[in-house]
Chains A and B, each alone.
Chain A
Amino acid sequence: MSRAVTATLRVNGEERTVAFPGHHTLLEVLREECALTGTKHGCELGECGACTVLVDGRPVLSCLTLACQHEGREIETVEGLADGNRLGPLQVAFADLGAAQCGYCTPGILMAAEAMLREQPRPSRERIAEQLSGNLCRCTGYLKIVEAVEWAAAVRRGEDAGPPPEILFGHPEPGRPGGDAPGRRPSETASSNT
């Protein structure tokens, strides 16, 4: 009944011509035809936010939108946050701070946060919580997620910002990384882990 369609999608700045059944969601096409499996499938009913991607810069749940309706629009997935092997500030902050535990919700949260930081470089905690209120995380308890977004926002603004040392390493100790260096930036070492 539903015919296969061929569409050219612009994903992370790259044009991809893909063929897929016309009733498939953007989530299915990103994962199955484009092999971009960074976007996760969680509830697939719009309740968890794991599949959040950006369409024309705004957060969209890819499980609840048809891929064929996205020709000519700018789609961004978590894979687009990194520049080659170099992770973006949000990714580095999440990795360094331990804001990801099992990590399944992380790509959706990164995209929702990315959309906010482009519009609002200095969001309040309440604003961050509101922006991420459609993304469920069952591991972290959200505190580190909010802190990581605050940290990444500061780094993006070009501030010499670091996380509270006690959050990273327990009580600050002289001589340990972060212990006596308040101006620490998200580390480069995190990017080599992926």
Chain B
Amino acid sequence: MLRLPPFRLRTPSSLEEAARIVAGEGPAARFVAGGTDLWPNMKRRHQKADTVVSLMAVPGLAELRGDTGGNLEIGGTVTLDRVERDERVQTRFPALARAVASISSPPLRNMGTIGGNLCVDTRCTYYNQTEEWRRSIDYCLKEEGTVCWVAPGSSRCWAHTASDSAPMLAALGARVRLAGAEGEREIPLADLYRDDGIDYLGKRPEEVLSRVVVPAEADAGHCRSAFWKLRRRGSIDFAVLSVAVALWQEHGVVTRARIHLGAVASWPVGAEKAAEALVGRPVGDEEAIREAAKLVRRVATPMDNTDFLAQWRGVMAERYAESALREASGLEVTGLAPNHRLVG
């Protein structure tokens, strides 16, 4: 049996208490929600903890509700399965439902949470291996080593973001609430991330991601969105590339656009120049979509750190950006990779 190392489990009943425990214990303490990321990492001794603080007993953290302004508020411990099945998500934010439905497999979505998916550890070929494997070539930078095996001359870690909900929610302009020992603060979801494979979250360690707020202005009545994901199998596998797009229009002209890419960098990269190329152009202008897709390719610079050739993932970023933009614009979708399956 591959067993967890021993640790102390704490189950606080408030966010303040949860934050206080982690603030008090420092790096030896970690949060857990659904456990589908932390437990495998602890079993393989990637991540270590003397104290694990479960958030599943904090009241109110598992609520999914609409607030008075029409925003949708998703509590940090709402399971992915609940997000995917929620009628409001399906009708108002269909691309978010699709992104969440593409995560892993049904039992894992029934356990994993939206907060956990947004904070999921970055991944790399040289990191997500057994302890023996990692020791045999000497540990990498992300884990007490001194060399990044993806780019040995580099002083930083190039592990890639593995969240599917993050690029989609960033494209929709969602915000996240972080609860610390001294109260809560709200930041744009895109600001939660840093372009660093090790220090990938821009939150303090004791802060809990308590809520995601998806704005009313990004719902299907105001905005058209799409999510495309590339991986070897249609289930279980993490993305090697994902493209999330959101388009706003008035009288058939694009007024605002956001494009975010998953799995090609340590954070969900925003393709701002590509999005700008669409603004002021008619919705469904194929020339504008091709231009934007080319600009997406410029910011998609995947490293050789996961399945498939890095260069091909970059090529596919252009293809998938074009496809996602075509879908969001109501055009016929082309450019599918072999075995690509639209979820939902």
A, B assembled together: yes
Counting contact residues on chain B (CB < 8 A from A), the size range is: 20 to 34
Establish whether residues A45 and B236, one from each chain, have CB atoms under 8 Å apart when the complex forms.
no
A49-B105, A134-B106 in contact; A23/B236 too (CB < 8 A)?
no
> Which residue of the partner chain, among B6, B35, B107, B110, contacts A21 with CB atoms under 8 Å?
B6
- A69 to B56, alpha carbons, bound, how many Å? 9
Within 8 Å CB of A63, what residues of B? 39
Within 8 Å CB of B2, what residues of A? 41, 44-45
Within 8 Å CB of A133, what residues of B? 105-106, 234-236
- A69 to B10, alpha carbons, bound, how many Å? 11
Residue of A nearest to B101 (CB): A130
> Which residue of the partner chain, among B4, B54, B104, contacts A25 with CB atoms under 8 Å?
B4
- A134 to B109, alpha carbons, bound, how many Å? 10
Within 8 Å CB of A24, what residues of B? 3-4
Smallest CB–CB gap between B261 and chain A, Å?
Answer: 25
Establish whether residues A45 and B1, one from each chain, have CB atoms under 8 Å apart when the complex forms.
no
A134-B105, A134-B108 in contact; A44/B43 too (CB < 8 A)?
yes
B308 at interface, CB cutoff 8 A: no
A68 at interface, CB cutoff 8 A: yes
Within 8 Å CB of A68, what residues of B? 9
Establish whether residues A46 and B36, one from each chain, have CB atoms under 8 Å apart when the complex forms.
yes
Establish whether residues B40 and A45, one from each chain, have CB atoms under 8 Å apart when the complex forms.
yes
- A135 to B108, alpha carbons, bound, how many Å? 11
B307 at interface, CB cutoff 8 A: no
Smallest CB–CB gap between B105 and chain A, Å?
Answer: 3
**Beta-carbon contacts of B65-84 to A below 8 Å, as 1s and 0s?**
00000000000000001000
A61-B107, A61-B108 in contact; A23/B6 too (CB < 8 A)?
yes
Smallest CB–CB gap between B42 and chain A, Å?
Answer: 9
A87 at interface, CB cutoff 8 A: no
Establish whether residues A25 and B106, one from each chain, have CB atoms under 8 Å apart when the complex forms.
no
Establish whether residues B106 and A130, one from each chain, have CB atoms under 8 Å apart when the complex forms.
yes
Within 8 Å CB of B5, what residues of A? 23
- A58 to B7, alpha carbons, bound, how many Å? 27
Establish whether residues B108 and A41, one from each chain, have CB atoms under 8 Å apart when the complex forms.
no
Within 8 Å CB of B8, what residues of A? 1-2, 22
A52 at interface, CB cutoff 8 A: yes
Residue of B nearest to A108 (CB): B107
A2-B7, A23-B6, A47-B236 in contact; A52/B107 too (CB < 8 A)?
yes
- A61 to B9, alpha carbons, bound, how many Å? 19
**Beta-carbon contacts of A51-67 to B below 8 Å, as 1s and 0s?**
01000001111011110
> Which residue of the partner chain, among B35, B50, B106, contacts A65 with CB atoms under 8 Å?
B35
**Beta-carbon contacts of B1-40 to A below 8 Å, as 1s and 0s?**
1111111110100000000000000000000000110011
Establish whether residues A22 and B9, one from each chain, have CB atoms under 8 Å apart when the complex forms.
yes
Establish whether residues B106 and A23, one from each chain, have CB atoms under 8 Å apart when the complex forms.
no
Q: A46-B36, A61-B111, A66-B9 are in contact. List 11 more A-B contacts (CB 8 A).
A: A22-B8, A22-B9, A23-B6, A23-B9, A41-B1, A60-B107, A64-B40, A64-B108, A69-B54, A112-B106, A134-B104
Task: Provide a sorted-by-A list of 26 A–B residue pairs whose CB atoms are within 8 angstroms.
Answer: A1-B6, A1-B7, A1-B50, A2-B7, A23-B5, A24-B3, A25-B39, A28-B3, A44-B43, A45-B43, A47-B236, A49-B105, A52-B107, A58-B81, A59-B110, A60-B107, A60-B111, A63-B39, A66-B35, A69-B56, A112-B106, A130-B235, A133-B105, A133-B106, A133-B234, A134-B105
